[in-house]
Each structure stands twice: as structure tokens, then as C-alpha cells.
Amino acid sequence: ERTDAGISNTNYFENFRYFMEHVRGDKPFFFWFGAKEHHRSYEQNSWERNGKKLASAQVPGFLPDHGIIRGDLLDYAVEIEWFDLHLQRMLAYLEETGELDNTIVIVTSDNGMPFPRAKANSYEYGVHVPFAVRYPKEFPGGRIVDDPLGFADLAPTILAALAVPAGPGMEGRSLLP
């Protein structure tokens, strides 16, 4: 599908569709979509081939505002958009099959962007990562919550949504409230 050097040949959406049609059956399911693209080693200057403009890059104040930095940020954006495209296809598939409103969808990143003062650092760009949940039965849409949370909160949240009690010693708290 893509020729960018940093883009995997893995068709994430097709893997998801295969899982849904050939593995899942009629049982509840759990599917983890983890992409590798935006973990560096992306293709330098792929932003040019993808129609991006240096002027559109948003450079955080802690990085030098230079063309090389802007290009690097846009190369990163190209790979995030690849993830977004496959996620969009998965959500459309769930909607087409009537499963979307009955599926908890959690979208997050495991760390900050791979730039200085971000990934693996305790600065804002290292700890403030994307997190979105879609589950119409429990979460009203369009809501923004500024409370800090951690990945330890995911298991208690999923268990609570399924009405399964958390085991003894489980870390984290349910986000349902």
C-alpha cells in the first residue's frame, strides 16, 4: 500500500478484519492494534512526498524552529496518519457490522513523541500522551477529562465495564465514574 521506508508492510486493518471474520466467532473479543511506525526510523523527508508544507509543522517551544526539525516533525506526522487511517478503517468496519456501539475502543500512545524532552522524560511531552475512549454505553461523547491517569487504570476500567470485580492487589482505578 505504501512505499515510505518507515511504513510497515503489515496491513493492520486487514489483520483486524481477518480476526473478526475468522477467529472471533460470536464471542466477545479483545483486539490490540499496536503500530510500530511512529517509533522512529521513519523515512526522512516523507513529508514532501505526502504533500505537507514545512510551514504547517507545529514546533514545540523547547525545540529549535529550524527546517530540519520541522521536516522531522512532519515525517513523524506522516506515520501517525498511517496509524489513524487503519484505525479509521477498523471503526468503519465495526460500524458496518453493527458492533461499534457495543465495543469499547481505547486509543492511546505508550509514551511521548520520539524527540528530546519528550519520550522517556517526565516533561509535558513525555507524560501527556493521547488517550481517547469510545463506549457509548458508559462514556458520553465529546467530553474532555483533564484528570491524570496511567495504564494501570485500564484493566480496572475494562473489568468494571464488563461487571467483573477486580482481583485483590490490582493496581489502578476504574475510569468509569
Contacts of 18 (CB under 8 A, 6+ apart): none
pTM of the model: 0.85
Average pLDDT over residues 33-43: 77
- Statement: residue 6 has pLDDT above 70: no
Write down the pLDDT at residue 5. Answer: 63
DSSP, residue by residue, 100-167 = GGGS-EEEE-SS--SSTTSTTSSSHHHH---EEEE-TTTS-TT--------GGGHHHHHHHHTT-PPP
Q: What is the dihedral of CA 102, 137, 141, 129, to 10 degrees?
A: -70
Average confidence (pLDDT) over 127-148: 84
